[in-house]
Amino acid sequence: MARLQGKVALITGAARGIGEAIARSFVQEGARVCLTDIDDARGAATAASLGSMAQYLHLDVREEQDWVAVTQALLAQHGRLDVVVNNAGITGFEAGDLVQDPENVSLSAWRAVHQTNLDGVFLGCKHAIKAMRAQGAGAIINISSRSGLVGIPGAAAYASSKAAVRNHTRTVALYCAEQGLQIRCNSIHPAAILTPMWEPMLGDGPDREVRMQAFVSDTPLRRFGLPEEVAALAVLLASDEATYMTGTELHIDGGILAGSAASPQVQES
């Protein structure tokens, strides 16, 4: 039996990247999935490619009225909402502004990153709880980052926002338990996952491959991770296999947080 059979899921930032991969995996596991994004053309096309088990709705995670409209629409359509994946996020580099260090990042850039990455997760958790309260159970999955566990000098706002997501996940988990609700809230912490988010840093041209290798040289597994590998963890957390997991964080980083690994040695025969 499909692991998410009968569940209704909402995924933010689902037009591409990790969000799209999660949506595809959820549909494959039997869930009815609402993909949301602010890129309406790409989001609608992605949902259409997933068939009748998927739909697309516009949702700007920074706007509370969007959350109200989308969650109410899903409850009216399906009578329930079982899973919310707060995936939408930005680095701050998207507009070509590569100055994101703690001394020189602008206040407007700092606020913009937090508005999407933190306010968006806050609103997602808030309205997920409200939508799931009637059934008394559900799963909230927040996509944080390895950057939420360590300092990132060149991406101060991003690291700060993802650290806050990590802690808010625990707060939501404890609040739901305190309320007597079986609404679980967990976080996933990816690192070095090859998605469009990396494009501003990798760039184009003949040096792209060199830059890619430089980025993964600090990864013990010596490669980028795939969005599908993150999606596999989201499926686990959304499923009934994880009903005793809440306030938990799962790391998927190719071993970066474990430390450094020596290069493999070739054995001579």
Angle at 67 between CA 198 and CA 193, to 5 degrees: 20
Please report, as a single letter, which amino acid is at residue 243.
Answer: T
Element (H, E) at 113: helix 107-114
Check if the beta carbon of residue 132 is closer than 8 Å to that of residue 176.
no
Check if the beta carbon of residue 88 is closer than 8 Å to that of residue 120.
yes
Give the separation between CA 87 and CA 80, rounded to whole angstroms: 20
Active-site residue, 158 included? yes
Residue with tokens 């994946």: 85
- Look at residues 171, 5, 185, 166 and name the one whose alpha carbon lies nearest to residue 84: 185
Catalytic residue among 56, 158, 175, 244: 158
Q: In what order do the strands lie in the sheet with 8-11?
A: 54-58, 32-37, 8-11, 83-86, 137-143, 182-190, 249-252
Return the active site residues: 158
